[in-house]
Amino acid sequence: MMDEILIQALSGLSRGMVLFVVASGLTLIFGTMRIANFAHGSFYMLAAFLTYSVATMVGDRTWGFLAALCLAPPIVASVGALIEWGLLKRIATRPHQYQLILTYAITLIVADGIKILWGRDYRTVARPAGLDGAITILDMPFPTYNAMLILVGVLIAVGLHLLLTRTRFGKTIRAAVADGEMIGALGVNVQRLFTGVFALGAGLAGLGGVLAAPVGSVSLGIDTSIIIESFAVIIIGGVGNVMGALIGAVLIGVVHAVGILFAPKLAIAFVFIALCAVLLIRPQGLLGRST
Amino acid sequence: MTVQPLPPLQPAAGSAASMRTKTIIGGGLIVGLYLLPFVLGESYLFLSIDFLIMALFAVSYNLLLGQAGMLSFGHAAYYGLGAYTVAILFNKLAVPVHIGLLASPFIAGAIALAVGWFAVRVTGMYFAMLTLAFGQLLHTVVMGWYGFTGGDDGLPVMPPDWLLPARNYYLFVLTVTLVSLAALRLITLSAFGTALNAIRENRQRAIFVGLGVRNYELGAFVIAGAFAGIAGAMRAPLQQMAFPSLLHWGQSAEPVLMALAGGIHTFAGPIVGAAIFVFTNFVITTYSEYPLLVFGVIVLLVVLYLPGGVAGAVIDAWERLRRRAR
């Protein structure tokens, strides 16, 4: 039983890593622009479908997946930049509800757009050669691809940390999270920063979509589940905090996966119990700053 | 920073004469609504029932967004819970739907109390995310609890024979909706409603003058949830089915859209918004193969180009015409 729980926790960890990649983008957007971007799940879904198409076009499953990994995130990031520059910028000064509704409208358009371009069927993406087997942990098989996801998640976390602490762009983002008005007063081009952050965030959602495509199903509706979990992640972790998102995502992934062992249909309830506990103890999130 | 003096209270809005006009227009409208089923065909009658339910749903929501400035994105949960209250009482205890309806605001309100207790700890966009997340949790629970809710198959509900004809059901829904709207109107005008206005205008100041802001917000959340429950309780017998999709976040977007389309700063705004929404939805689903796409584009255009909502734009255009005529 213990072994079973451990393997399940590992598999939750790999799922949590995908969630981290997506939620880190959302938390950066929220932290800098103060927009709860509903369309974030749509970026993820769009990337998953792009992965399917690119993989099918290329034919070879390894090269197909690698091609998708190189192509889909930049495409989705460009879509994000276009949405920020063309739509969100125009209503930046209006009350929150308009921005929320605008990103919601985008989720509707993307959902039907995908229906038009790809149809309503489920799609599957093959795992790259060498990653389709299983490794043995504690005498139990564990899918190689999931092990790779954990590794990739750690690499992306380190990469994002370096981006935020070592580059000018990253430092500006962190400054914007801490005090948005101040960096405008200090002469940072806030407009350009917002477009950049939105593109980066959308790109991360896209990267998550590519990574998830070979493990989950590529289907309509995956936008909703990921966006709800991502919101839970950033509430747990604290807004604008990438390391908080990592902790929140791993927590949710593991709690959810282990919860499935005990109550398959209601596992998501355990996630919310964790969420409520965090809210009671630290309403600003585990690593968030109180305002 | 100097403290701006509050503007003097308006004397009871412009005289007895305008009050009388308002009463006459309102009374005429109500009489007209009661006569409607005797002139409308059955399919339009169903559309009118849909409108009444959505109007109550939207007005209950606007107690949060318009009055208290609370941006909830999980209002459908309480709407759906109202529907399931009626459906479960009907299936498990054979309670007829019009009796079950009386229980719906209490069940929906009780769950709203439990969620709100956590949710009012945060504000703004955080509040929106949290109410959305809790709404989806309730959706998942209803989806997964096959033994109690029927899961994604839904739960059938049959109205009693006397409520089956569309005309009778319309009159029933009309009466319940009017009573509920009157109750909500009284709440918005009460001291409680005024306190909610104060919180919306300046939360910080409301705290400083000693309002228990969180308790007021929780109260608003519970009341809004309870009335959404009544709206949902009227929905299930109409479709003769309670579905989990009634609690889905797509459904939660609807009262937000209706309130914004009609205007959030008046009591009647969301009712106008409901009319616009129900009609637009009807046209789109009838004529388009991709209703979400068309609907999304319309919402996008309205948000970008009609900041005051559809109703606001109509009023603006009307005033411009009047000025030109003069």
The interface predicted TM-score (ipTM) is 0.87
Q: How many CA atoms lie within 13 A of A221 on its CB side?
A: 9
Domain assignment present for residue A142? The answer is yes
Of A105, A112, A275, nearest to B300 by CB-CB distance is: A105
Is the minimum CB–CB distance between B19 and chain A shorter than 8 Å?
no
Confidence (pLDDT) at A67: 93
Is the minimum CB–CB distance between A177 and chain B shorter than 8 Å?
no
Domain assignment present for residue A10? The answer is no
Domain assignment present for residue A6? The answer is no
Domain assignment present for residue A169? The answer is yes
DSSP 3-state percent helix, strand, coil across chain A (nearest 5): 75, 5, 20
Burial B181-210 (b: 16+ CB within 10 A, else e): beebeebbeeeebebbebbbeebeebeeee
Instruction: Average the pLDDT over A222-233 and give the result.
Output: 89
B-contacting residues in A 229-288 (Cβ below 8 Å)? 231-232, 234-235, 239, 265-266, 268-269, 272, 275-276, 279-280, 283
Record: contact A102-B300, CB cut-off 8 A: yes
Domain enclosing residue A84, as ranges: 19-219
Confidence of residue A152 (pLDDT cuts 50, 70, 90): very high
Confidence (pLDDT) at A184: 83
Write out chain B's pLDDT in tens, 326 residues: 444 555 544 444 456 667 788 888 888 888 888 888 888 888 889 899 999 999 999 999 999 998 988 989 899 999 999 999 999 999 889 888 888 899 999 999 999 999 999 888 888 888 888 898 889 889 888 888 877 887 788 888 888 888 888 888 999 999 999 999 999 999 999 999 999 988 888 888 888 888 888 899 999 999 999 999 999 999 998 888 888 989 988 889 899 888 888 888 888 889 988 998 899 889 988 888 888 888 889 888 888 888 777 777 888 888 888 888 77
Confidence (pLDDT) at B15: 61
Q: Tell me the per-residue pLDDT of A117-138, one tens digit each, with 9 for 90 and over.
A: 998 888 888 888 888 888 888 7
User: CA–CA separation, A183 vs A207, rounded Å?
Assistant: 29
User: CA–CA separation, B93 vs A166, rounded Å?
Assistant: 65
Record: contact A100-B293, CB cut-off 8 A: no
Domain assignment present for residue A130? The answer is yes
Burial A88-110 (b: 16+ CB within 10 A, else e): beeeeeeebbbbbbbbbbbbbbb
Instruction: Average the pLDDT over A3-22 and give the result.
Output: 91
Q: Tell me the per-residue pLDDT of A239-253, one tens digit each, with 9 for 90 and over.
A: 888 999 999 999 999
* Count of structural domains within chain A: 1
8-state DSSP, B7:
P
Of B71, B130, B137, nearest to A97 by CB-CB distance is: B71
User: CA–CA separation, B153 vs A228, rounded Å?
Assistant: 23
Q: How many CA atoms lie within 13 A of A200 on its CB side?
A: 23
Q: Tell me the per-residue pLDDT of A155-204, one tens digit each, with 9 for 90 and over.
A: 999 999 999 999 999 998 888 888 888 888 888 888 889 999 999 999 99
User: CA–CA separation, A84 vs A203, rounded Å?
Assistant: 13
**In a mutagenesis test of the B interface, which of A97, A236, A272, A290 is the best target, namely the one with the most B β-carbons within 10 Å?**
A97
Could you tell me the pTM of the whole model? 0.87
Domain assignment present for residue A228? The answer is no
B208 to each of A3, A284, B1, B127, B280, how far by Cα in Å?
55, 22, 15, 21, 44
Is the minimum CB–CB distance between B182 and chain A shorter than 8 Å?
no
What DSSP letter does each residue of A187-247 carry, written as one string?
T--HHHHHHHHHHHHHHHHHHHHHHHTTTS-B-TTHHHHHHHHHHHHHHHH-TT-HHHHHH
